[in-house]
Every structure is written in C-alpha cells, then in structure tokens.
Chain A
Amino acid sequence: MAGAFWCVVEDDRRGRPKRVTAELIGEARRRAGELGAGVEALWLTDRAEEEGLGQLAGWGADRIWLVEGPALAPYRGEVWVPVLAELAQKEAPRAIWGAVTSRHRELMARLAARLGVGLAADCVGFALEDGQLVAARPVYAGKLLSRVRWRGQPWLATLRPNVFKPADEGPAREPRVERPAVSVPPGAATLVERREETQTGLPELTEADIVVSGGRGLKGPENFVILEELAKVIGAAVGASRAAVDAGWRPHRFQIGQTGRTISPKLYIGCGISGAIQHLAGMRTSKVIVAVNKDPEAPIFKVADYGIVGDLFEVVPLMTEEFKRVLHGE
C-alpha cells in the first residue's frame, strides 16, 4: 500500500523475528493509526519460518514483503540496500523503520543516503506536531533530547529497543505474504569467519529486561562472579562501567555508557558504580534504577529510584538470597 509504515524485520538468524520487531510494529500501528496508514513488514533473510510469518501478521503487519535468498545472510550493506531501495521506490512507503541493532543501524544510514532522505537514529518517541511526525532522540549521550522532523518521504528512523510498547500478540492471522521480484546484487565483502562470543548463559546486554552492572567498587575482575550469581537468579545480563572495562576486568562489549552500550532495561541494578556523567548517559532511560554504593554522595543516587548505602560485597549476596527465596521458593 502506498503511504504505509514499513518495519524492517530484525530476526534471530534462524527464521523468527525478534521481540524488537513487535516493538516496531506496535509503535508503527499507533502512529499509522493517527494518519490512517497501514503497517507492513519487510523481511530480508536467508530463512523465514512459517511461524515467524504468522507472528508478524499476529502483531499487526497488514502485509509482509519477503525477500528470501542465501546472499542476504550475513547482512552486507551493499547487498541489502539496493533491494530495499528498489522496493521503496516502487511501493512509496510513508516511513521505513528499523531497530537500533548492529545491522539495522548501518542499513538505515546507507538507505537514507541512497534515497536522499533524512534519518532519525536511535528514536525513543514519536508525536504528531501540526500534522507532521516529529521524532525524539537522545543526543550528547542522553544529556539532551533532540526533536527532529523529515523534509521528504519516506521517514527513515531506527527505534531503540525496550522503549516502545510491543504490539500485543493478536489472534493468529493468515499472513499476507508478497514475494516481490527484485534482483539481489552480489556482495563485495566475503564472510571468512564468525567468532561466537563465549556463552555466559545470560541474556544479551542490549536486549535484557534486567541488567546488573558493576564498577570500580568490585575491586577486581574475579569479583564479577558476585554479580553473575545475582544475574542468574533474576535472569539479568551483566554490564560494567568504563572504569571496570578500562581496568581490563571486562571486555569492551560489556561497557555501558557514552563510549559503550546504551541500554533501557525495565530494571537496572548498579553495584559499586559512582555514576559518572558518561555512565549515566548509557542507562538513564532505564525504567527502574537501583544503586548499591558505599558512598552516600555517589552521583548515581541522584538518578536512582531506590538506593542502598552499603558494602556491595555484603548487600549483593543478600539480594541473591532474597530473590532466590521470593522468586524460586528456595
């Protein structure tokens, strides 16, 4: 449908859409509803499961554009962008939205350049102002909020995970799937190796509902095990402050803050983290913030909803025990 909101599907590489796609469709439905527009999903993949297509329809995708082929995995910009651009030029969607994930971030930037339109990256809110869609996005590492609008269409944006309310799992609908005839160009880049990260058994930092994070107060890399024990009990990911990462206690991919990952979990628990301005930038949009720190003057208490002033080596194991008791009856 011309003028539809398109949501680019982020999947698990095994044929199923990820939860962030439900968030995209949920927000697109709300905004498209105000404008009387439809919502469609756009899925580029080497593998789409029937169940996955059903999920997209259940979340509210009126139509699914499916381009399936082995050349589409792993993601390469020079392969995906011409496909998306060709479809967009033919179908004239009003908006194209992606998620803030490693591949969508780059994809949407390249697509914007290809189409010659604006990109609002890392959006945390949308509103209609004078009949125009205005996006809100944190800038200066979350110190300010920037409101932006597009001069032309389509409106390209990436949406921060865990911020928008996901579409409800509707009754299973027969998905309306279009398999457009588009040419998939050969890629210039060749994948030589995929090195999986060591499986911790804990969720991925940017996708987790709960994040437990440690800083200098942990005194050494060996003490992160205290946080991991709590994380296992409550199903959390484990992050770290820049101080802990720069000290070599944790790899860079665990860093939360201005020069690390930006997260918005439902619950953030900071342990032995003072709360430097550049760390707060990476977690201040968390829904509930808990801080455990010996120093009552630590800046993290200024953004925390709940705080305990105390020694994390005493407090955190007590939290693990208490959560075990109330959540698992142990």
Chain B
Amino acid sequence: MKVLVLVKQVPDTATQVKVGSDPRAIATTGITWIVSPYDEFAVEEALRIREKRGTGEVVAVSGGPERVKEALRSCLAMGADRAVHVLDPALEGADTLTTARVLAAVIQQEAPQLVLTGRQAIDDDTGAVGAQVAELLGWPCLSWIMEEAIAEDGATVRAGRQVEGALELFDLPLPCVLTAQKGLNEPRYPTLKGIMGAKKKEIKELGPGDLGVNVDGPQLELVRLEALPPRPPGRIIPGEPKEAVRELVRVLREEAKAI
C-alpha cells in the first residue's frame, strides 16, 4: 500500500515569532524550523501501516523554499521511503486553497491509496489543507483522527475522529484523507542509522510548472500581521493564603465581574 504524507515546515513551538520588515511575513532570522508536530503523527502512522502490512511505500510531500528539504529529510530519517519537494518559495505565503491545489496535483501523479496529514500546521493554524485536498480529489476525509486500522484487503479503513464529547468511528473506502490529532500515536525519534540512511534517499524536486497549478492568485489575501496587544499588567494579591483567597474571590466578583 502506498501512503502519502503531507508535511509542513514550521517555526519551532518555543520560537518567539516576530513580524518582519514586510508586515505580511515573519522575521525569519534565528528561527529553528521543525516538521509541524501534527504532521509527525501522520508520518508515524504511515510508517506503522507499512510495518503492520509488511509491505508498502511511505512518501513524504511538502512545498516551499529550499530549506523545506530539511523537514523532508527528517521524515526520511524517521523511515519514509522517499520524498517529493515542490520547490517554490511562493508556496510559503500561499493560502490553504493554493497549497491544497498543488498537493492534490502531486497526489494525482503519485496515486496513493491513503493520504495522511496533521490536523493543522502550527504556523498559520488554519487546519484546512487536508479537507481541501480531499474535496479537490473528490475523496472522503476524516479529520482529527485518534485511531486508525486498515482492513486486511486494503479496501477500507476504520478510523475514529474526535468530536465534542465523543469519538466517532467510521468505515471509509480507500483512497481517502485522514488528518491526525494528538494521541493517535507517539512519533519515533530517528535513529543514527535512520539519519545516515536518509541522506541516500530520493527527494524528487518538482516545480509548480510541472504540476500545472498557478500559485500566484490567493483567494485569501494577507493584509498584515500584527503583534498581539499586550495584556494589561496584572497584580499579585499579597497576604496569608486565607486572606489572599478571600480578596481574590472578592475582586473576581466585584471588579472583574468574572463570576
């Protein structure tokens, strides 16, 4: 079974992100780039499918500038067989629909039985690409999955999505798109052997022209990025615990009217 995993390279969660000189982009100096954590769950799940079935191929796919190859190398080091890189700096600021169109075109070329991705990338936080790829391909999709099991005959998958107050288990025909929620699995760390091996694995480079997708026209335009207004300074309520608590409850009710 061929499984495609869509991954995005994003700033590390501990990074202080600042608005750049062009207010429509972040300042990229000093940023540590990682594979978006939810996409790591997707990579891990793809590897487990291959291991469980004893056969198959895992292909990691991403788009963006040259440095995106580092993210793809991380996926290869975890165990993916090969990678596809849509090399186009314009993809970095693209809206989700443009990204989805590019990725859907890659999927059509590769013709996998299953597409996995994270429930959202932790930079733009839109969480739309997986579902949009499914829509463009006319495939079913299940978002925020917490578990997954492919039927022995490889024709269907049983997957559970997290909804408010419950887990809903569905049978879906393949091919389909699944987006990973935290809790699906615990991603492995690349071994030294894996890291060394990754250097020899193929990263196929595609230009947007190879896919026939126009990446210039976003449907959602970024007007500008802004720093969040700082919260007004708070105050520490002093005193012995008992008095402090009494005062806290009073201000929450009388000043803040929060309860």
Interface residues of A (CB under 8 A from B): 74, 76-78, 81, 101-103, 105-106, 108-114, 116-122, 129, 134, 137-152, 187-197, 204, 206-207, 210, 234, 251-253, 255, 258-260, 266-267, 276-278, 284, 287-290, 296, 301, 303-311, 314-315, 318-319, 322-323, 326-327
Chain A, Cβ-Cβ closest to B256: A288
Q: Which residues of B come within 8 Å of A, CB atoms?
A: 11, 13-14, 16-17, 19, 26, 37-38, 95-97, 100, 122-132, 134-136, 140-144, 146, 158, 160-173, 176, 181-183, 217-228, 231-232, 234-237, 241-242, 244-246, 248-249, 251-253, 256, 258-259
Whether A77 lies near B248 (C-beta < 8 A) is no
How far is the CB of A257 from the nearest CB of chain B, in Å?
A: 9
Further 6 A-B residue pairs, CB within 8 A, beyond A137-B125, A189-B170, A267-B259: A109-B129, A129-B223, A139-B124, A191-B169, A207-B164, A322-B245
A129 — which chain B residues lie within 8 A by C-beta?
Answer: 223
CA distance in complex: A306, B248 (Å): 7
- The listed residue (A119, A149, A284, A307) touching B97 by CB distance below 8 A is A119
Whether B17 lies near A118 (C-beta < 8 A) is no
Q: Which residue of A lies closest to B184 (CB)?
A: A252
Q: CA–CA, A145 to B142, complex, Å?
A: 28
Contacts of B13 in A (CB 8 A): 141, 258-259, 277-278
Instruction: Check B234 against A301 for contact (C-beta < 8 Å).
Output: yes
> Which residues of chain A are within 8 angstroms of B163 by Cβ–Cβ distance?
102-103
* Contact (A141, B125) CB under 8 Å given A103-B163, A150-B219, A322-B245: yes
Q: Are B131 and A106 in contact (CB under 8 A)?
A: yes
Contacts A318-B242, A319-B248 given: A118-B220 contact, CB under 8 Å?
Answer: yes
Q: Tell me what chain A mostly uses at the interface: helix, strand, loop, or mixed.
A: mixed
Q: Count A-B contacts at CB 8 Å.
A: 265
Which chain A residues border B231 with CB–CB below 8 Å? 284, 289, 303, 305
B220, A148: Cβ atoms under 8 Å?
yes
A196: chain B residues within 8 A (beta carbon) = 165-166
Q: Is there an interface contact between A252 and B135, defined as CB atoms closer than 8 Å?
A: no
Are A140's CB and B11's CB within 8 A? Answer: yes
**Cβ contacts under 8 Å, B223 to chain A:** 129, 134, 147-149
The 10 closest A-B pairs by CB, nearest first: A118-B220, A109-B128, A118-B219, A252-B183, A113-B135, A113-B132, A109-B131, A267-B258, A102-B163, A188-B140
Minimal beta-carbon separation of B32 from chain A (angstroms): 13
Contact at A109–B122, with CB atoms within 8 Å? Answer: no
Q: Which of B38, B125, B141, B168 contacts A121 (CB 8 A)?
A: B125
Q: List 8 A-B contacts (CB under 8 A).
A: A81-B135, A113-B135, A116-B219, A118-B220, A141-B13, A189-B170, A191-B168, A252-B182
Among A108, A109, A118, A134, max chain B CB count under 10 A is at A109
| Distance between Cα atoms of A307 and B173 in the complex (Å) | 52
B220 touches A138 (CB 8 A): no
- A314 proximity list for chain B (CB < 8 A): 241
A196–B167 Cα distance when bound, in Å, is 6
- Known contacts: A195-B167, A315-B245. The answer to whether A112 contacts B258 by CB under 8 A is no
CB distance B249 to A326 under 8 Å?
Answer: yes
Task: Find the A residue at minimum CB distance from B101.
Answer: A113
Inter-chain CA distance A315–B225, complex, in Å, is 40
| B245: chain A residues within 8 A (beta carbon) | 308, 315, 318-319, 322
Smallest CB–CB gap between A280 and chain B, Å?
10
Residues of A within 8 A of B135 (CB): 77, 81, 109-111, 113-114
